[in-house]
Amino acid sequence: MNATTGSTPAPAPDTATGWLATARHCPSPNCDARPLETLVDLLVIHCISLPPGEFGGTWIEQLFLNQLDPAQHPYFRAIANLRVSAHLLIRRNGELVQYVDLHQRAWHAGVSTFNGRTDCNDFSIGIELEGTDNSPFTDAQYERLIPTTQAIRRLFPAITPERILGHQHIAPGRKTDPGSGFNWERYLGSLYARRW
């Protein structure tokens, strides 16, 4: 237990498998091996809602599992054939769902650049928050995101504060998430307070 905050950080992912015991496991086929000897040193925060602006339901999971039915909503016709994933999703109620083991490359960043390096999927972890770019995220999501970040860093200590960014930062002009609804000060401030 952290004497400063009284909080207990989440356990680290299983070193061998890359899966978090605290998450519901829902393996996505949309992943592959990282390039050999890749140093994972970037954490990317995203947000997603399906249909846009609606929360709950199984649509995000169906998208990441290639099971989204385009007949269920007009918006789905444009995205049903996408092959995308994230390592983790945090629902509005704080539920943590893991789709890809942390050692694998999830397909979350797309065309992206960080510190002159392209293809950020190669060296990053992607966390989706259920939400929109311009609406506040829930207390339950921050309460889950903060210890989850601590857990990830125990497996990948090269992820330092300046290497935690939004999708908007690595794909400017193309992506805007997690947007103005995400409280970076609250998130990073809590990590510092917990001596991450």
Among 129, 140, 144, residue whose Cα is nearest residue 181: 129
Q: Which of 37, 54, 61, 128 is catalytic?
A: 128
Please state, as a whole number, how many other Cβ atoms lie within 10 Å of the Cβ of residue 15: 10
30 vs 39: CA distance, rounded Å: 21
- Told to judge if 128 belongs to the known catalytic residues of this protein, a careful annotator would answer yes
Contact between residue 98 and residue 16 where contact means Cβ atoms under 8 Å apart: no
Q: What is the DSSP letter of 16?
A: T
What does residue 70 show for φ and ψ, rounded to 5 degrees? -65, -15
Strand partners, 90: 96, 129
Q: Is 105 in contact with 36 (CB distance < 8 Å)? A: no
Alpha helices in the chain (DSSP H): 59-64, 76-79, 139-155, 167-170, 184-193
Which residues make beta-bridge pairs with 6?
none
Catalytic residue ranges: 128
